[in-house]
Amino acid sequence: MHPGIIFFLVILGSVLFHIFTPWYWTDIASNWGGMDDTITLTFWVGGGVFVAVCLFMTYCVFKFSYKENRKAEYKPEDKKLEKILTWATTLGVIALLAPGLIIWNQYVTVPKNALEVDVMAWQWGWQYRLPGKDGKLGTTQVININDENPFGINLDDPYGKDDVMIQSDAINLENNRPVKILLRSVDVLHNWYVPQFRAKMDAVPGVVTFYWFEPNKTGEYEVLCAEYCGVGHYAMRGSVLVQNEQDYATWLGEQETFSDLIAKQQNLVIGDTKLAKK
């Protein structure tokens, strides 16, 4: 078989695979549709270039394969053609970069009304903290973390007392309300990633990183750790339940705050002393 036929079939196969693939992105459940749109645009432009270049190559292979009496063209340069190609490529690149940067600008600009969620990661698990009635999260430090203070909240920070603590890898979010994910790690790099939300960012020990999104479809989603974090990386899962306003309010009301936890522990301590006296 002529090699050109096989190359042609490879190109054709790639295009058909792309059109008929049963594997494509999960249904989006956040505001980041623009990312999907930019990917689609890049597929059209980039895919077009790929097909054009490879078809041209295949054509040459058919048309100009070796013949004893053929003489190849002798033409070291073609400044005009090179200029046209340079500018056409530059335009194509700008067309792809522009939407990319516009969406990135949105990605790094968090809406004012976003709900802050503290996502704390460790080897290998997640837990979450939401601001209490004051709407602010208390500050934290790794060295404060212990059984009585699982999030390491600074005890002298008044904002911390009413923080809602969710000591579980599952969290609920309110539909159509922007969320600012504040990522924190106590040991190594992690990354709180839900494929349907499209967004992600590493959690880095020593600093607080962030990203935001607005869930727009109720349902339960799986959280994956998307930054290698040691041998348990693949098992570091969690879940998110996106609920409507009412259900979310009910769920939030059932959660424990930091002061609840402190009170409970003091009761325990008192119970212990009573026990000791008997």
Partner 1 sequence: MSDEYDNNKSYQAQSSETMGGSAPASPDMDYVRPAETPDQELYHGHSFITKWVFCQDAKVIGVQYFLTAVFTGIVGLILSWLMRLQLGFPGAAGFMTAEHYYQFVTMHGMIMVVYFLTALFLGGFGNYLIPLMVGARDMVFPYVNMISFWMFFIAVAVLMASFFVPGGPTGAGWTLYPPQTILPGTPGAGMGILLMLVSLSLFVIGFTMGGLNYLITILQARTRGMTLMRMPLTVWGIFTATVLAMLAFPALLVSAIMMTLDKILGTSFFMPTILQAGEVLEYGGGSPILFQHLFWFFGHPEVYIVALPAFGIVSDLISVHSRKNIFGYRMMVWAIVGIGALSFFVWAHHMYVSGMNPWFGFFFATTTLIIAVPTAMKVYNWILTLWRGNIRLNTVMLWCLGFIVTFVNGGITGIFLGNVSVDVPLSDTYFVIAHFHMVMGIAPLMVIMGAVYHWFPLVSGKFLDEKLGKWHFWLTFLGAYSIYFPMHYLGFIGVPRRYFEMYDSPYMTSAVGMNEFISMAAFIVGAAQFILIYNIIRTLKVGKKAGQNPWKANSLEWLTSTVPPEHGNFGERLPVVHRWPYDFSVPGAKDDFITQTTPPSEVVHTEVEKT
Residues 205-224, interacting with partner 1 (CB under 8 A) = 205-207, 209, 222, 224
Going by C-beta distance under 8 Å and a sequence separation of 6 or more, which residues neighbour residue 21?
Answer: none
* CB burial string 38-62: b at 16+ within 10 A, e below: beeeeeeeeeeeeeeebeeebeeee
d(CA 5, CA 24): 28
Counting beta carbons within 10 angstroms of the beta carbon of residue 35, is it exposed (0 to 12), middle (13 to 18) or buried (19 or more)? Answer: buried
**Residue 66 near partner 1 by CB under 8 A:** yes
> What distances in angstroms separate CA 242 from CA 29, 87, 144, 245, 246, one per listed residue?
9, 47, 31, 10, 12
First-last CA distance in the chain: 94
Q: According to CB under 8 A, which residues from 140 to 179 bind partner 1? A: 141-143, 145-146
User: CB of 254: closest distance to partner 1 in angstroms?
Assistant: 27
Pull the structure tokens for residue 124.
């290998």
Of the candidates 5, 15, 16, 53, which one interacts with partner 1 according to CB under 8 A? 53
Candidate segments 111-119, 155-163, 228-236, 259-267, binder of partner 1 by CB under 8 A: 228-236
Of the candidates 86, 250, 265, 266, which one interacts with partner 1 according to CB under 8 A? 86
Of the candidates 200, 239, 252, 262, which one interacts with partner 1 according to CB under 8 A? 200
**Residue 203 near partner 1 by CB under 8 A:** yes
Q: Is the peptide bond before 124 cis (omega within 30 degrees of 0)?
A: yes
Candidate segments 158-166, 230-238, 249-257, 261-269, binder of partner 1 by CB under 8 A: 230-238
User: CB of 137: closest distance to partner 1 in angstroms?
Assistant: 18
**Residue 25 near partner 1 by CB under 8 A:** yes
- Choice between 147 and 254, CB closer to partner 1: 147
